[in-house]
């Protein structure tokens, strides 16, 4: 006898097919993005030596004549510098917030604070940008702290960028620590450890793979942020350590240049794609490192 598939097996087969198609669509979308960036990137390097691009210290693609330069290092530095300032704020605040929600907060407090954090993550970034430009820079940095920052500066943009990333890190850290088995907490308490010692020395190390994933996701979010840097950070690509000055990130350059009147096929037009490819490779490298770290610590604590 030939066994006919049941309705349940047909339903499961349809679900598998839908999931497979979704995976294929995501892969094809990624490949299409890479192809669109790669084609213009190859055309760009046909006109500009790759060494001048990677190691040049001056980025003035829209200037003419001898003033035109395509050294991407100022954009890379601006991206990493602004991200670094943001992570200095986001990492401690995010980890401590997630640890508090997971290990110390009463249930009533957790029910209020966690949705507020998640709501903060949904605020449009343009709101954060104008908050940094119109309030944080003049009222907090200049008037309250007496700092001589420019109107567009890295300090304000970086701090607000960190505040933007805090909900992402805090939520993921809280989820990772909440997933640690209760038996580890009970064993620690049985050995005489208090709640703080248990959270820091037992639960946090056991959740380290999830914490690392949260930090890397937060860093990726900060690296790719556009609007806050575009509004509050300025548009000056520079190699400097002065947080009072304006800087430009790769994402902010792409946004500011793409909205300008640039002829298609020109060298200025191609810079949008080559910087986009650089940003893509930087984020890809960060994700590869994060996967290796997550696997390493997951093997330790499984």
Alpha-carbon Rg for the chain in angstroms: 24
How far apart CA 255 and CA 274 sit, in angstroms, is 13
The span from the CA of 240 to the CA of 248, in Å, is: 12
The CB-side HSE value for 27 (13 A sphere, CA atoms) comes to 6
What is the pTM assigned to this prediction?
0.86
Which residues, in sequence order, are CB contacts of 80 under 8 Å at separation 6+?
A: 223
Q: How far is CA 295 from the centre of its chain?
A: 20
CATH class of 67-301: mainly alpha
Please choose, from the candidates 222, 217, 221, 199, the residue with its C-alpha nearest in 3D space to the C-alpha of residue 100. 199
List Cβ neighbours of 55 (8 Å cut-off, separation of 6 or more): 71, 73
Specify the pLDDT at position 95: 93
- Determine contact, residues 70/56, Cβ cutoff 8 Å: yes
Model pLDDT for residues 52-85, shown as the tens digit of each residue: 898 988 888 877 777 888 889 999 999 999 999 9
pLDDT in tens, 237-264: 888 889 999 999 999 998 888 776 777 7
Taking every pair of C-alpha atoms in the chain, what is the biggest distance, in angstroms? 87
Show the DSSP H helices in the chain as ranges: 7-45, 50-55, 73-99, 107-121, 125-131, 154-178, 182-190, 195-198, 204-206, 208-223, 227-228, 250-258, 267-301
What is the model's pLDDT at position 298? 65
Positions in the chain short of pLDDT 50: 299, 301
Other beta carbons within 10 angstroms of residue 208's beta carbon come to 19
């Amino acid at each position: 006898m030939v066994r006919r598939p049941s309705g349940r097996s047909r339903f499961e087969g349809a679900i598998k097919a839908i999931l497979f198609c979704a995976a294929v669509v995501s892969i094809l979308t990624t490949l299409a993005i890479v192809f669109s960036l790669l084609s213009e990137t190859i055309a760009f390097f046909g006109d500009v030596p790759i060494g001048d691009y990677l190691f040049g210290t001056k980025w003035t693609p829209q200037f003419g004549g001898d003033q035109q330069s395509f050294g991407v290092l100022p954009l890379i530095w601006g991206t990493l510098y602004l991200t670094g300032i943001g992570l200095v704020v986001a990492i401690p605040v995010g980890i401590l917030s997630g640890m508090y929600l997971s290990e110390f907060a009463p249930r009533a407090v957790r029910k209020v604070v966690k949705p507020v954090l998640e709501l903060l993550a949904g605020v449009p970034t343009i709101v954060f940008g104008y908050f940094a430009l119109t309030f944080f820079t003049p009222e907090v940095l200049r008037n309250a702290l007496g700092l001589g920052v420019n109107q567009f500066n890295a300090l304000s943009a970086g701090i607000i960028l960190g505040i933007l990333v805090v909900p992402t890190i805090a939520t993921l850290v809280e989820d990772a620590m909440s997933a640690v088995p209760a038996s580890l907490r009970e064993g620690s308490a049985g050995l005489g450890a208090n709640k703080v010692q248990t959270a820091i020395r037992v639960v946090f190390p056991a959740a380290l793979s999830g914490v690392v994933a949260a930090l890397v996701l937060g860093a990726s979010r900060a690296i790719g942020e556009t609007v806050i840097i575009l509004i509050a950070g300025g548009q000056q690509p520079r190699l400097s350590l002065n947080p009072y000055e304006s800087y430009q990130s790769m994402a902010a350059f792409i946004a500011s240049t793409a909205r300008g009147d640039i002829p298609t096929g020109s060298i200025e037009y191609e810079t949008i794609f080559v910087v986009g490819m650089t940003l893509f490779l930087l984020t890809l490298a960060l994700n590869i490192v994060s996967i290796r770290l997550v696997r390493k610590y997951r093997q330790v604590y499984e």
